Structure 1
């Protein structure tokens, strides 16, 4: 869910290259078709707005049995200094990411293989302390908090999450290029691995969680070590 660009597309490409029958979803039909063409390996796309509960339910009824579900639906609202944070904007942030991921999982549960897997894609803001990200932390933290109880309640279905740090994806296209490059350079210099992330980095973590039948109930940080205490 949310596979027409960035992390979702990279994860779909990894599964497809490994021989899986992959279906990606997205809201924009043209972007979806372009992503399907890039992924290749017989991948298919379904134009579905994950905000629409009826459409999501119809999708899973059509697909039937599903082995692994990756919830990569993401929004952009909810950031900004807390003193000035528009709470309606924060609510739109939940509407754009939290509720679509939860709605998709609830619709998918009857169709998921009993020993299959679910992987939420959250964000490092939930476990960091960067000014201006309290709203984003709330959205992603709410998803992270659901992972352990869902892993127990839905067992033997495995439920995990990947929490990416700063990843160079189209999510950042709203930031002017020069400003974005300066931001990435500064973050890379302060990150142990010396760079910002790539979608493929997160895709590899997603693939591992789906493939390893003995991992459930965890949130994996995929952030280049940016959350480590460095002494600085």
Structure 2
């Protein structure tokens, strides 16, 4: 093999990679925060709404879960402008991520809510607790304990899926890597470093989420 590895030119662009990494984190965090609002609203809608609204929510979930994320991005960035809705690449990426994670989050949160035994809710009502108190003290924490692993997995997947947003030139890590590769022509070196960066991020977040679960969501031992 005659290929000579040269990481020097890639490391010279380290500030660009770091900037792209920060943009990826900001994009992922914003999408998760907004997506969870969508997910909570949709989950409550599925569990306590009229059938017509449940049907709309189900249609949204099935549409998103059964179409490629790449097509969803293209539809928002290239398709919606034909209807008069034009977004910047970063805004389109955020909307696509929110729409995608919201659909998966609805089902995760719905499963958590439905895991709460009805007898516990009835007991809260018999004690004169208001609906908000019942949700806060009886449903919320046990539901979070039940769905926490799935939610954290979804966040990791969301962060990794943000790399697909590079196809519309959103300013995140993979897009920055593409720019560096086009200047240096060191494809292996660039994408090897980016792979390590994504891997390090995933390991960091898995560790952080596990620590949070042990500290705040540990179930009492009998």
Which TM-score bucket, shorter chain as reference? under 0.3
Q: Which has the larger radius of gyration?
A: 2
More strand by share: 1
TM-score by length of 2: 0.27
More helix by share: 2
TM-score by length of 1: 0.26
Which structure carries more relative contact order (alpha carbon 8 Å, separation 6+)? 2
